[in-house]
Amino acid sequence: MSFKDQFENYHWDEVKASIYSKTENDVRKALLAQKRTLEDFKALISPAAAHFLEPMAQLSRKLTQKRFGKTMQMYIPLYLSNECTNICTYCGFSLDNKVRRKTLSREEILREVEVIKALGYDHVLLVTGEANQTVHTAYFKEVIQLIRPYFSQISMEVQPLEIVEYEELIALGLYSVLIYQETYYKEDYKKHHPKGKKSNFNYRLETPDRLGLAGIHKMGLGVLIGLEDWRTDSFFTAAHLQYLERTYWQTRYSLSFPRLRPFSGGLEPKVEMTDRELVQLISAYRIMNEEVEISLSTRESEQFRDHCIQLGVTSISAGSKTNPGGYAVEPESLEQFEISDERSPAQIAAMIRASGYEPVWKDWDQVFVQ
């Protein structure tokens, strides 16, 4: 059994119609419920909930502080490579985007690490394109062993791997893996991923199951908002999360909400999501799930990130570069996408403190890992 078996019982159009048919009375019931269901989540993300944004945001804030306190985890991406064998309509690293490709060497990685550590970080997210013959498991093993002395937490956002590969990386110090389905709309998934291993919808869909079976400490889920109807995609993300929490209960989970950003040769969003709608979605996820961690990247604007610090978010990036070598080696090389919030980590930390929260650069020590 995997989430794929459960997923096949749903029909996109039926789920979408159900969400859009929810009433204000359904929203009231969801807000008052002691234990919320996926039907309640549909109500909270529906157009009918737009009139309840203020009470939703207040409840989200209350539940977040109850579980996480007034803290904000700081993290930063380290892009190792922009080589990729996939064609993806929304990504600057897409194979059909004619740019110079680069994969960092050991020496270049250490130069990047030096800058990242000087910024104050102890949590790093390793990111690559999907190129199995270049950035493969052996490369990831080498990188993790190389940088493990410098970081308490090492996360990855790379191509889906097999169970045994995840097990080998976890043994070397891998803490978390982010794997985004991009969209759960199977009928159009191939349109956005016409070539490469990523075009295999089911293989990607079952990646979180492989991670759970490998015993990963934490995994992150999400979709790329703008590819398809965000409400329907978010419902499937919530259903996926609920399944994983019940099946792999020892693993922690996080959610991200990347909105489609400009890149070289970029794709215009099919569906625009307003800032108010993103606040609605963040609040809905928090009201539905008090335990899940919620991350907000530099894709979002300064004003929006400042506002959302108090509304349900638990981790935030700052000073991000989305190109390999962007911190020290090749600052002007191709970025995967354009960031919006360009403030330094020190400026973000100051903003967090000014909001009454405490920035957390280090979550735990390796000495506590069994």
Whole-number Cα distances in Å, 270 to 11, 170, 183, 301: 20, 37, 12, 20
Tokens of 200: 């295999």
The pLDDT assigned to 261 comes to: 64
Mean pLDDT of 37-57: 97
The pLDDT assigned to 266 comes to: 60
User: Is pLDDT larger for residue 110 or for residue 271?
Assistant: 110
- Please check whether residue 85 is in contact with residue 192, taking contact to mean a CB–CB distance below 8 angstroms: no
Cα distance between residue 363 and residue 342, in whole Å: 24
The pLDDT assigned to 94 comes to: 73
CA nearest neighbour of 218 among 208, 227, 228: 208
The string of pLDDT tens digits covering residues 199-243 is: 999 999 999 999 999 999 999 999 999 899 999 999 999 999 999
Lowest mean pLDDT among 148-152, 268-272, 292-296: 268-272
CA nearest neighbour of 103 among 80, 125, 126: 80
The pLDDT assigned to 92 comes to: 72
> Interior CA angle at 201 toward 196 and 206, to 5°?
115
Share of the chain above pLDDT 90, in %: 71
Locus of tokens 């969400």 = 19
Q: Which pTM value belongs to this model?
A: 0.92
Q: Which residues pair with 169 in a beta bridge?
A: none
CA nearest neighbour of 227 among 177, 276, 261: 261
The pLDDT assigned to 297 comes to: 84
Domains, the chain, with CATH or none: 3-368 (3.20.20.70)
Mean pLDDT of 234-259: 96
Cα distance between residue 370 and residue 366, in whole Å: 9
> Interior CA angle at 322 toward 316 and 323, to 5°?
155
Residue 265 in this model has a pLDDT that exceeds 50: no
Mean pLDDT of 345-370: 78
The distance of Cα 334 from the centroid of its chain, to the nearest Å, equals: 21
The pLDDT assigned to 264 comes to: 43
Mean pLDDT of 87-92: 78
Mean pLDDT of 29-52: 97
User: Is pLDDT larger for residue 189 or for residue 98?
Assistant: 189
